[in-house]
Structure 1
């Protein structure tokens, strides 16, 4: 509270490196900025909305002057009402003479004030800015998205409205104009789906800006938790020669498809990096979206945007079909790549996890963590995962699976509490605009105790369910679907859930085998709405068990040689987990698609910007 009091009494704080005042330091004060009235400041931001106020011009007082020479034009100006009266009586030439006289004496533009709502991205609230037409033309400063940099004074509101203060511009330093015909945010209330193709502009919308500020708080909370609990931050490689999990699709990193023009043409239908079957699947999905909008009588703009998107996708499919027909009858050649001639002299991938590399540092430094992107080339669409995912991972030396579960529990409670305490304004806005239950969900994790059940127990519970028919059959050894997990957390246990001891076939090769020989020491932390937020496990420290598992999965020895070598020389028992950033942002904001929860989404068939 002391800091808040100081914020009220002190002057507006300058942004250290640009000499402007960040709007949050004005609008985020407990007095709403009233205590700053009278201060001269410099602000910068983007126009969210605008309107124009026309000034009323008083008639000029009659001027008393001595005799002087007068021109013909001046005589006509002074006698204009008299001439018009004569023309009106005569009934001739009125329009012609009026046009000529008006062309001689053009009307000056009527003075006005542009009333702008400006945001600089620091908060949900906007600052009301007044710009006199003598400083800048309304047509230059009023379009939505216009960038304004100005000096002026904070004052009491001069016009009726909800504002308790405003900024009167006295000097315009810069105007970044907007082309209203092509600017994608010119229309109000665009649906999130239509903004995905404009990732470079969408943070200017209040909703996306709030989501990004919450995501920023999540990142800060993550680092704070680990730093406060004795973890060291280690940057793990994004490019790796190890197939880090032994199953799933990886992104291959190579320069062999470079300027020499070599192409692998084994898949003749792979044109522009997109397969026809994926486009057809996308058309079906977009058609359903259009039908849904038509049924729900959604706003017209959303329906128009979805219809146009469907039309573009259909046109793309037609073009691809024509190219495929042109290929019929032509021979194709399959190239076998020699990776010894590649940039790294071996096959390399974008990593799907950094936990193997973290383990090597954990066996030297104790507790370590890393935050960064991880990559999966799975083509199955999920609205909760992307090709490029942001993940926080950790490894703890001399620990078991129970220790990791305790750490994961504390971590989730910590970050939820942090966001509740540090994102109040954004959560209020999200509650009004997106989902009114976001605060309750975060508080739910802070106050709840996680229910722990084994995978075997979870399967048995689901098999007893008779009132619901699941889309996928429940059987031991199969992965639990999102539907299964959702039903367990929301209908059966009604609280966050930890499912542990998964079948060995479902987990990576490095997970420790349990004594039953069927399950491994792994766990998932599941919450309502989004499902899995954390996946963790205890690492297999026994060399013979690890090498046997690698052989079973047919992993290349050269790729796993360094990891096996680690387990020959003083390896410690380690455990850890991976925390999924993107699904948690969905949980904390009420959004339904991970593509709306990341700054620049990378998903199957889409990598704009």
Structure 2
């Protein structure tokens, strides 16, 4: 900490020898708003305390200061009476002289107006004499609602505009960052909605915004518009609350698993195994055999695309220069026309280059043995394969990380990158995994109710008024469990309901089917287990009926599947046969996975919680793209 920081630290320590000391934010010299306002007395105990607060302006208003009244006119000094007899005459002479002098300006102005001479001025306007200073700008009392992100609540900071080096309008702009030092006071107005406010005595920092360019200058932008500005959207109150809930779910996940004896393990993001649509990892794109090095397409005059693009940049700079230098209109028009011709030429060259570039990126022409890893590699779709190897040694393990799916789907429930909490347990079967999922899910709901209640209250007003009641009901009740076969039977009996996809045994349950079961029949979360082997991955344990596998889905209203789980196949022969049935041509990639069955195999099961889907259930948000800080979906990766 520098000397300036030490000084502030000492000042705060000196101020807080009295009861109810304020708590400094660790690694900072400011006080977090949460520690002041999220109390039973809403911060009243801290009235009179000196603090430093930093944050961003959420809203503001200004009240013009009352100017002090002008000083009274000077009283004429009357000399004391003399001993002579001319006292009255002297007093009268002085008074008349002073009166005549004080009225001379009025007579002079009347004479100027009547005679047509001299200068005239509008009423209330005064001529500015040489060297005379203009009137100072008006001063305001600014009321700034400031948030530092620690809480859904903001604190009002009262600032005298005279103490700031920036204009009041810049201090008041939404998004302006301020660091203010002052004293906490109870507001003067009896109608105030808050218990304490900060009466600023000095501004230590001001970070201004440009309201014309700052995308959050408008209040309460819809969430779908904020996605284009994902680097700014956490400054909104709604996204800030969602982020704190997200953080709480992450912490609660680690807490639950650590408390129940799971060891945390990092698993790789780049893998050689997987299933479904996967993202390939390669460094070979844009490269071919040495004899087929990519060449720039050239015209007869020898110009390449790169040369033409460089010319476009120079011509653009020339146009900007002409506009700044107030050149004649003809010169600007000619330069713009020249730029258009050059741009057209670049487009033509790029079109001719495209067919050759397309042949360069075809995977069948790439030799992955020459790639970075010497083989095909992908972004992982699941970490459970690698967790199994550690569960076979440590008993219970878990991980938390991103999972990638390359399905070209753009809807409210799908992302290309999602974060999963995955756990694996040795000596465990399907019922054990369902018990774990049930308790884990209820623990998360209870944790939010106890630790993020203020954020949940705020989000319920903005997104879904039923979320708190839904979490309370879930946290206090066990989840109903039934088989896939029972689910199909229920759906087929729903004669009053027409489904887009007819429910038939052997086919995966659709979102529409799951919604009907959870939203209309059971009106709450359920666990559906024992699915057909055709709709689940090859590594899940085959049940005794040979038609179903030991897999389950925990399904919740309005969202769908939040947790998946399974007992995985521990029998070598059956797993080996299932890999062959799945049609994987590169079976050797799974030899290490089969080794776990060859040497010291054990019954084991696991679960996978989809964090963003859990957040949708907890907050009532309608779109998963608002449940992750920087969403990646088909056709979009903004920053």
Q: Which TM-score band (shorter chain)?
A: 0.7 to 0.9
Distance in 2, matches of 1:88 and 1:124, equals 66
CA contact (8 A) 1:264 1:333 kept: no
Select the residue among 53, 60, 68 that pairs with 1:58: 68
Select the residue among 414, 417, 420 that pairs with 2:443: 414
Distance in 2, matches of 1:87 and 1:188, equals 57
Select the residue among 585, 609, 615 that pairs with 1:579: 609
The Cα of 1:260 is off from its aligned counterpart by: 8.2
CA contact (8 A) 1:384 1:582 kept: no
Distance in 2, matches of 1:264 and 1:580, equals 44
Instruction: Rate the CA distance shift 1:345–1:166 in 2: closer, same or farther, 3 A.
Output: same
Provide the residue aligned with 1:467 in structure 2: 496
Provide the residue aligned with 1:377 in structure 2: 406
- Does residue 598 (structure 1) correspond to residue 624 (structure 2)? The answer is no
Distance in 2, matches of 1:569 and 1:51, equals 72
Select the residue among 44, 47, 50 that pairs with 2:57: 47
CA contact (8 A) 2:288 2:366 kept: no
Provide the residue aligned with 1:292 in structure 2: none
Select the residue among 141, 146, 168 that pairs with 2:199: 168
Select the residue among 179, 183, 193 that pairs with 1:153: 183
Distance in 2, matches of 1:378 and 1:458, equals 27
Distance in 2, matches of 1:368 and 1:19, equals 40
CA contact (8 A) 1:386 1:602 kept: yes
Provide the residue aligned with 1:180 in structure 2: 211
1:457-536 equivalent positions in 2, closer than 5 A:
457-536=486-565
Distance in 2, matches of 1:157 and 1:89, equals 57
Provide the residue aligned with 1:206 in structure 2: 237
Unaligned runs of 5+ in 1: 1-5, 68-76, 266-318
Distance in 2, matches of 1:117 and 1:124, equals 12
CA contact (8 A) 1:385 1:583 kept: no
SS of aligned partner of 1:95: coil
Once the two structures are superposed, residues 221-252 of structure 1 have per-residue CA deviations (whole angstroms, 9 ceiling, x without a partner) of: 11111011111111111111112xx3x20011
Provide the residue aligned with 2:20 in structure 1: 10
- Does residue 553 (structure 1) correspond to residue 582 (structure 2)? The answer is yes
Select the residue among 194, 201, 219 that pairs with 2:225: 194
The Cα of 1:87 is off from its aligned counterpart by: 6.2
Distance in 1, matches of 2:195 and 2:163, equals 24
Distance in 2, matches of 1:150 and 1:383, equals 41
- TM-score between both structures, scaled by the size of structure 2: 0.79
The Cα of 1:448 is off from its aligned counterpart by: 2.7
Select the residue among 381, 385, 400 that pairs with 1:352: 381
- Does residue 450 (structure 1) correspond to residue 479 (structure 2)? The answer is yes
SS of aligned partner of 2:504: coil
Distance in 2, matches of 1:139 and 1:261, equals 62
Provide the residue aligned with 1:22 in structure 2: 32
Instruction: Rate the CA distance shift 1:30–1:102 in 2: closer, same or farther, 3 A.
Output: farther
Provide the residue aligned with 1:270 in structure 2: none
1:289-438 equivalent positions in 2, closer than 5 A:
326=351, 333=359, 335=362, 336-438=365-467
Distance in 2, matches of 1:413 and 1:264, equals 59
CA contact (8 A) 1:449 1:495 kept: no
Provide the residue aligned with 1:124 in structure 2: 152
Provide the residue aligned with 1:241 in structure 2: 272
CA RMSD for the aligned pairs?
A: 3.0
Aligned pair count reads 537
Per mean C-alpha deviation after superposition, the further-off stretch among 83-92 and 491-500 is 83-92
Instruction: Rate the CA distance shift 1:87–1:585 in 2: closer, same or farther, 3 A.
Output: farther
Instruction: Rate the CA distance shift 1:330–1:16 in 2: closer, same or farther, 3 A.
Output: closer
Distance in 1, matches of 2:107 and 2:482, equals 98
The Cα of 1:499 is off from its aligned counterpart by: 0.9
Distance in 2, matches of 1:554 and 1:264, equals 36
Instruction: Rate the CA distance shift 1:587–1:171 in 2: closer, same or farther, 3 A.
Output: same
The structure having more radius of gyration, on CA atoms, is 2
Provide the residue aligned with 1:36 in structure 2: 46
Distance in 2, matches of 1:118 and 1:430, equals 19
Provide the residue aligned with 2:594 in structure 1: 564
- Does residue 100 (structure 1) correspond to residue 131 (structure 2)? The answer is no
Distance in 2, matches of 1:155 and 1:510, equals 64
Distance in 1, matches of 2:137 and 2:522, equals 70
Provide the residue aligned with 1:219 in structure 2: 250
- TM-score between both structures, scaled by the size of structure 1: 0.83
Once the two structures are superposed, residues 105-152 of structure 1 have per-residue CA deviations (whole angstroms, 9 ceiling, x without a partner) of: 412111211110000001111110011112113123110000001211
The Cα of 1:592 is off from its aligned counterpart by: 0.5
Distance in 1, matches of 2:578 and 2:200, equals 70
SS of aligned partner of 2:215: coil
Per mean C-alpha deviation after superposition, the further-off stretch among 361-370 and 131-140 is 131-140
Distance in 1, matches of 2:385 and 2:484, equals 24
SS of aligned partner of 1:134: helix
